[in-house]
Amino acid sequence: MRRLIFIGLLFFCMPNTWAQQYTLSGDVLDEKAAPLLYATVTLLNPADSTLAFFGITNSDGHFEIKSVTAGKYLLQSAFLGYKTIYKSVEVPLQSGTGFGAMIMKPSAVALKEAEVNGERIPILIKKDTIEYDAAAYKTKPDAAAEDLLKKLPGVEVDRAGNIRAQGEDVKNVLVDGKEFFGSDPQVATKNIPADAIKKVQVYDKKTDEAEMTGVDDGSRNKTINLLLKDDRKSAWLGDVLAGGGTDNHYETSAKAYRFTKENQFAVLGMLNNTNKFGFSFRDYLDFNGGMGRLMDGSGDFRISINDDDNLPINFGQPVMGLITSGAGGLNYTYEKKKDHRFNISYLGNGADKNLVETRNTRNFTPGNSFNQDENADRDNKSRAHRFNFGWRNKIDSMQNISVKGSASLTNGKNSDRLFSESFREDSLLNNLNSKTDSKVTGFSGNALASYLKIFQSNWKFVKISVDGSYNRSLRKKEWENATYFISTGDLLSDHQYQNNQNDLAKVSLSALATRKIWGKYFLQPEIKAGVNNETLDRQQGIIPSDAAAVDSLSPHLVNQYQYLRPSLSLKRSSDKVQLKITAGCEAGMLDNSLRNDSDVSNNVFYFTPGASWEYEYSKGRRLRAFYETGINTPEANQLLPTTDGNNPLQLFYGNRNLKPEYHHDVRFNWILFDQFSFTSVFFGIGGTYTRDKINFSRAVGDNLQQTVSLTNVPEDYRTDMNVDFSTPVRKLKINTNINIREKWNKGINLVNNVQNINTNFSHELTISIDNRKKDKWDVSLGGTFNLTQAMYSIYKALNSNYYNLSGFTEISYSPSDKWHFMLTGDLTNYSAQTGSERINVPLLSAEISRYFLKSNRGVITIAAFDILDKNTGIQQKSELNYFERTQSNMIGRYVMLTLKYRLNKFDDKKGMDVQVSHR
């Protein structure tokens, strides 16, 4: 089956590969015979004027269009500020392979010979901006912006919706230059209809401060701006969808948008039980009670040692458990005039999740190892509401005020059932039956206000900012445990409750000024002062609930940090080079107080130097390097010395004497994007050294009961390297993408007071290809190989290599604007040297869509998910002193029938209306 699928994929990826192909060339000059750099020369399909082949002129005005197949085309030569040239051509050319010289005339001069109206230029380069004409790229009638982006040369969208342009991650997606639902790019790309987009602009956005002051700070964010069609800006857009399927599966959604010159309005809503989420990763955290809910299920404190935590949200990985979720959102932006903008948005979500897990963990102590098997059944319900707002007011050309912030309300209810057994050399030493119920509510809010004043002197500008935030979390937890120790025959039972209230308030004030000292050199003094105040109040006691709380288990901790951060930076700013060298320090006072105990105070002082350098040595080629330092202060939950006995086999307590972590980060990047071949290379290498890293100290008893505390270890090292390479192979009519990831981490933890050095080295290679011409067929396939090497200094018998091998394919076929077919396939293999069995997970899904009604406003789709009914959730990782494999329940096979109706009733004309009138 797999062999047939891949043979079919290769067949569809390379249609007409062996047909005769031609390389065409020519020159684009102005009226004075001077070469025009970055002029675009395209061959368009005469039927609908969509892009077939293209080339871009170099510094000599010369261009080449490679791998052109025989046929009739409309030749188009375009350059900003010049009249576009059109010419009908047939390949092969009668005159050979050259078009000769094409002379372009300025657009300000009226042409007596011809006037072209309604012209379509697929790609246009405007200084640092690449602009695409959306109408030149075919998409299905109900496509979203994401589908359009996938077809643009130089833009990549992975299967999870993450976007890269010119080799860099896209940080912002704007709609007509304005934010859309805050800072999450995928809300726009997954919801804005493709047929409402006129142009797509890709550029490096400077900070608002740099754009206003003219002093380049070297900061860039790769940005995509979706320019809407004029007739879409004042009309209602959107769609409604409803569907039902086997095993009582369903999904519904509704979207509506309206954009005018001054107003931007959008409303979104969805409800399903097919494990689909409506918004972003950050929203998912808020919907589930924030980062606190990511603490080991029941809220117990947990530190992650690697950066690959498997979070239950789909970023290309499977979603674990069975989830029913609903989400809704509103967005409104008002801009009376440029740089006078107000925006507000609301996102809400509710999710009910059932997660059944089987987990096997291989632990070790000096000279020994033991296994732990767990079976867990978790039911989680969560609700959340989040508000974002922003106000930008450019008072005049010399002053600007900016305010932005957010607020959120969250609540959740969790019910966990756990059974675990611990073995040493196949001998059962203990088991645990546990039942935990908890409720959590939370509120958070933050605001940042800044005032910028520009001067017409050597003092260029002054910026003053005020930043504040407040978070409150209330958690009520009740557990009932039965723990049996085999060797002694002891059966321990406990039934307790625990109520926690955590409050964290932060406020800071900063002032920054910039002074020109000579030529392109600037001096930038900055000072920031702030205070963080956190309280943790715990009430814990024995059930029945009317029993008084146990004082020794009910602490009240106050944790406060006051700091002052002065710095002085030397900057050099030019068109090609940005350089910044910073000398700074941080002086602070840590103080934590515990009820009925003495205060613990610690004055800290750290040097915080930094440096950054960026050099654009030619167009599309850039070098970047930076070095920075910083500190992380311990939180109240880490400081609390009282034992948390929720899990009697793993008792946890904090450490009031923890010191801040002091880290040094360094990174180097090389970026290459060739606008002529659309080849991109993104290379990055970096590392982090952390002194006084906060880590675990674990004591394991003879009965395998563990006591876990926190301590500062001397050091922690991390390095990573990545290479992303993409290029079209025109002879094969495909695009290729190669991604390499390397990660290395060397950390220290204590096991029975013996220092263990845990070294993880992971290697990942991903290769994917897709066809370039996507008029009817859109085919992609690829695979990923991931190998992790885990090594432990005090028990080398547990050293192991484990790997994941996965492959994927996606075939999309649109024979006409009435039909759309899609087939996706995935195969993942999990294996390890630790004796765990190899597991293969094949996934196969398909869908068929039929469009109907005027302007294809209606679409009916039948989709089958997991046709082979083999979906299985597997996670495996190595951390600290254990190797762990988890298998979870997941959504299985189902068939869904959906009906979608689009609100807009526009009937776009196909092709380009070229009118020639002689004067």
Predicted confidence (pLDDT) per residue in 439-472, tens digit: 999 999 999 999 999 998 899 899 999 999 999 9
The arithmetic mean of pLDDT across residues 124-133, rounded, is: 78
pLDDT reading at 120 higher than 70: no
**Per-residue pLDDT at 619:** 74
* Matching residue, tokens 């991390």: 718
Q: Which of helix, strand or coil describes residue 147?
A: helix
**Per-residue pLDDT at 583:** 97
**Per-residue pLDDT at 202:** 87
Q: What is the mean pLDDT of the chain?
A: 83
Give the span between the Cα atoms of 166 and 154, in whole angstroms: 6
Which band of pLDDT confidence, cut at 50, 70 and 90, is reported for residue 296?
very low
pLDDT reading at 792 higher than 80: yes
Q: Which of helix, strand or coil describes residue 37?
A: coil
Strand partners, 435: 417, 480
**Per-residue pLDDT at 7:** 41
Residue 139 CB partners (closer than 8 Å, separation 6+): 147, 148, 151, 194, 195
Choice between 800 and 132, residue whose per-residue pLDDT is larger: 132
**Per-residue pLDDT at 312:** 30
Strands 98-103 and 21-29: parallel
Q: Identify the weakest region by mean pLDDT among 27-36, 298-307, 399-408.
A: 298-307
CB count within 10 Å of CB 721 equals 15
Question: Residue 882 in contact with residue 361, Cβ under 8 Å?
Answer: yes
Q: Identify the weakest region by mean pLDDT among 182-191, 201-210, 417-426.
A: 182-191
Nearest residue to 441 via CA among 465, 408, 489 = 408
The arithmetic mean of pLDDT across residues 546-560, rounded, is: 85
In this predicted model, what pLDDT tens digit does every residue of 355-370 receive, in sequence order?
999 998 888 788 788 8
The arithmetic mean of pLDDT across residues 665-672, rounded, is: 91
**Per-residue pLDDT at 8:** 46
The arithmetic mean of pLDDT across residues 861-878, rounded, is: 85
**Per-residue pLDDT at 895:** 96
pLDDT reading at 10 higher than 70: no
Give the span between the Cα atoms of 837 and 360, in whole angstroms: 12
CB count within 10 Å of CB 763 equals 15
Q: List Cα–Cα distances, 479 to 256, 358, 540, 644, 665, in angstroms.
A: 46, 21, 11, 12, 42
Give the span between the Cα atoms of 104 and 869, in whole angstroms: 61
Question: 330 phi and psi, to 5 degrees?
Answer: -130, 140
Choice between 489 and 885, residue whose per-residue pLDDT is larger: 489
Give the span between the Cα atoms of 905 and 141, in whole angstroms: 11
Which band of pLDDT confidence, cut at 50, 70 and 90, is reported for residue 254?
very high
- Quickly list H helices, 150-200: 185-189
Give the containing element (helix H, strand E) for 728: strand 706-729
Choice between 236 and 896, residue whose per-residue pLDDT is larger: 896
Give the span between the Cα atoms of 612 and 138, in whole angstroms: 42
- Top mean pLDDT of 99-103, 317-321, 364-368, 796-800 is at 99-103
Residue 108 CB partners (closer than 8 Å, separation 6+): none
Question: 639 phi and psi, to 5 degrees?
Answer: -85, -25
Residue 188 CB partners (closer than 8 Å, separation 6+): 145, 173, 174, 175, 180, 181, 226
In this predicted model, what pLDDT tens digit does every residue of 213-238 receive, in sequence order?
767 666 677 888 988 887 777 778 88
Choice between 425 and 632, residue whose per-residue pLDDT is larger: 632
Which band of pLDDT confidence, cut at 50, 70 and 90, is reported for residue 852?
very high
Give the span between the Cα atoms of 421 and 442, in whole angstroms: 34
**Per-residue pLDDT at 764:** 92
Which band of pLDDT confidence, cut at 50, 70 and 90, is reported for residue 545?
low
Which band of pLDDT confidence, cut at 50, 70 and 90, is reported for residue 318?
low
Give the containing element (helix H, strand E) for 283: helix 281-287
0.75 cut: is pTM over it? yes
Which band of pLDDT confidence, cut at 50, 70 and 90, is reported for residue 836?
low
pLDDT reading at 429 higher than 60: yes
The arithmetic mean of pLDDT across residues 533-552, rounded, is: 84
pLDDT reading at 719 higher than 60: yes
